[in-house]
């Protein structure tokens, strides 16, 4: 999702809720967890937690304190040190206040506020937290709904852009730019890159990347040796199975080489094979480099479909450029032959 309209951005609303929860309830850490499409609670915004721990954290509704609050809908105070250490290993929490987030009679998640200093959490704290949760729930639900509607419009526009890409230009570079722009309109990721398969070296070679205006990084991207498929089992398996690879914690998953993780600051990534006539010709990659993200099932399904269409477009654009190059060379040879002097002149010379 592109962040052109911040007042309606669900992520901005979640981040604000986490910051306000810490401030209003005098906490040291805060986390907002929402139930995803698979029934798991995932932390969507936080203050004071380690990003790597947040990326790995997910709880099925009903499991543990977070899951219990999201199922039963009642506030809860956690003092179990083992659980607190597991949630925030570096925070040394002494207590955690959990409150459900509700919308339209349904529980959409919960938020927690943790305390490093020892203090007795009272019913007054629970009441204040519940009051805050009521207001936060309204804001989160409304911006989420508006965000979904906006995303649906963007998805329709992006799909139209992908389908119309060949009619706009058959120049391969322009087609790749258009594809990346369309993908970024509907992805939670921040960058889109395209790799094409090199049959001679068995590597995925980087050819296009949009999402970060950094000339130095772009040169590093273009100058990289590509992704060596035989050395990366996951990519090889994805190419063979022609299925997407989703790594919401890219450093831990190690789907791509570690030097790629470090060089380009990858946090979450998704790879979609570009398949044309049952042959994988490349990969479409989306990634987030400022924070870990969760790729919704609907986005994965949509981008997988776009990748199939993109493969056809890229192949056709490549063939068109090759034909154009051959025609230009043929025309150049004809022009050269026309410039040569007639045989009688050449004999006199």
On whether the CB atoms of residues 172 and 321 are closer than 8 A, the answer is yes
Residue 29 has pLDDT above 70, yes or no: yes
Distance separating alpha carbons of residues 152 and 133, to the nearest angstrom = 28
In this structure, is residue 159 part of a structural domain?
no
More confident of the two residues 79 and 161: 79
242 by Cβ neighbours in 10 Å (0-12 / 13-18 / 19+) ranks as middle
123-168 and 297-339 are packed helices; what angle lies between their axes, rounded to 10 degrees? 30
In this structure, is residue 344 part of a structural domain?
no
Q: Does one domain contain both 181 and 238?
A: yes
In this structure, is residue 219 part of a structural domain?
yes
36 by Cβ neighbours in 10 Å (0-12 / 13-18 / 19+) ranks as middle
In this structure, is residue 124 part of a structural domain?
yes
Convert the pLDDT of each residue in 276-335 to its tens digit.
888 888 889 999 998 888 898 888 988 988 888 888 888 876 655 665 666 666 666 666
Mean pLDDT, all residues of the chain: 78
Q: Measured at the alpha carbon of residue 73, what is the angle toward residues 72 and 74, in degrees to the nearest 5? A: 95
Distance separating alpha carbons of residues 155 and 60, to the nearest angstrom = 29
Output the pLDDT for position 7: 47
Output the pLDDT for position 270: 94
Q: Does one domain contain both 260 and 141?
A: no
Output the pLDDT for position 246: 92
212 by Cβ neighbours in 10 Å (0-12 / 13-18 / 19+) ranks as middle
Distance separating alpha carbons of residues 308 and 300, to the nearest angstrom = 13
Q: In what order do the strands lie in the sheet with 106-115?
A: 58-60, 40-47, 29-35, 106-115, 95-103, 76-78
Output the pLDDT for position 17: 86
In this structure, is residue 154 part of a structural domain?
no
**Mean per-residue pLDDT for 176-188?**
86
- DSSP category for residue 169: -
* Confidence at 218, pLDDT banded by 50, 70, 90: low
Q: Does one domain contain both 173 and 132?
A: no
In this structure, is residue 314 part of a structural domain?
yes
Output the pLDDT for position 190: 92
Q: Does one domain contain both 141 and 212?
A: no
More confident of the two residues 141 and 230: 141
Output the pLDDT for position 284: 92
Contacts (Cβ under 8 Å, ≥6 apart) of 260: 224, 227, 266
Distance separating alpha carbons of residues 51 and 243, to the nearest angstrom = 28
Structure token digits, residue 123: 């019913």
Count how many domains the chain has: 2
Output the pLDDT for position 233: 65
Backbone angles phi, psi at 341, to 5 degrees: -70, 155
Output the pLDDT for position 104: 77
In this structure, is residue 176 part of a structural domain?
yes
Convert the pLDDT of each residue in 224-263 to its tens digit.
666 676 666 667 776 777 889 999 998 888 788 888 888 8
Structure token digits, residue 37: 């499409």
Convert the pLDDT of each residue in 98-139 to its tens digit.
988 888 778 888 888 989 888 888 888 888 888 888 888 877
Q: Does one domain contain both 99 and 176?
A: no
Q: What is the CA radius of gyration of the chain?
A: 26
Q: Does one domain contain both 97 and 182?
A: no
Contacts (Cβ under 8 Å, ≥6 apart) of 138: 103
Output the pLDDT for position 147: 60
- Say which CATH number the domain at 299 has: 3.30.450.40
In this structure, is residue 152 part of a structural domain?
no
Q: What range defines the domain where residue 328 resides?
A: 169-332
Q: Measured at the alpha carbon of residue 197, what is the angle toward residues 194 and 201, in degrees to the nearest 5? A: 130
Output the pLDDT for position 334: 66
């Amino acid at each position: 999702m592109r962040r052109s309209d911040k007042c309606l951005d669900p992520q901005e609303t979640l981040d604000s809720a986490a910051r306000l929860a810490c401030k209003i309830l005098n906490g040291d850490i805060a986390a907002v967890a929402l139930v995803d499409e698979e029934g798991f609670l995932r932390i969507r915004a936080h203050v004071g937690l380690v990003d790597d721990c947040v990326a790995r954290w997910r709880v099925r509704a009903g499991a543990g304190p977070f899951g219990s609050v999201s199922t039963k809908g009642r506030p809860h105070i956690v003092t179990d040190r083992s659980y607190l250490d597991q949630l925030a290993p570096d925070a040394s929490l002494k207590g955690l206040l959990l409150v459900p987030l509700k919308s339209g009679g349904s529980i959409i998640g919960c938020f927690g506020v943790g305390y490093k200093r020892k203090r007795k959490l009272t019913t007054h704290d629970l009441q204040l937290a519940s009051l805050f949760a009521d207001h936060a729930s309204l804001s989160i639900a409304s911006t989420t709904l508006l965000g979904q509607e906006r995303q649906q419009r963007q998805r329709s526009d992006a799909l139209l852009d992908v389908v119309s890409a060949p009619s706009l230009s058959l120049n391969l570079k322009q087609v790749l730019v258009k594809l990346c722009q369309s993908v970024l309109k509907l992805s939670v990721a921040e960058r889109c890159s395209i790799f094409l398969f090199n049959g001679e070296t068995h590597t995925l070679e980087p050819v296009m990347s949009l999402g970060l205006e950094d000339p130095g990084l772009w040169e590093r991207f273009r100058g990289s040796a590509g992704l060596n498929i035989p050395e990366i089992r996951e990519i090889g398996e994805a190419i063979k199975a022609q299925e997407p690879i989703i790594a919401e914690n890219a450093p831990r998953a190690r789907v791509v080489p570690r030097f790629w993780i470090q060089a380009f600051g990858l946090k979450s990534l998704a790879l979609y094979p570009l398949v044309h006539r049952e042959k994988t010709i490349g990969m479409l990659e989306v990634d987030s480099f400022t924070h870990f993200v969760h790729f919704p099932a609907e986005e994965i399904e949509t981008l997988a479909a776009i990748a199939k269409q993109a493969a056809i477009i890229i192949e056709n654009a490549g063939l068109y450029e090759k034909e154009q190059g051959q025609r230009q060379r043929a025309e150049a040879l004809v022009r050269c032959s026309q410039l040569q002097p007639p045989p009688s002149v050449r004999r006199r010379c």
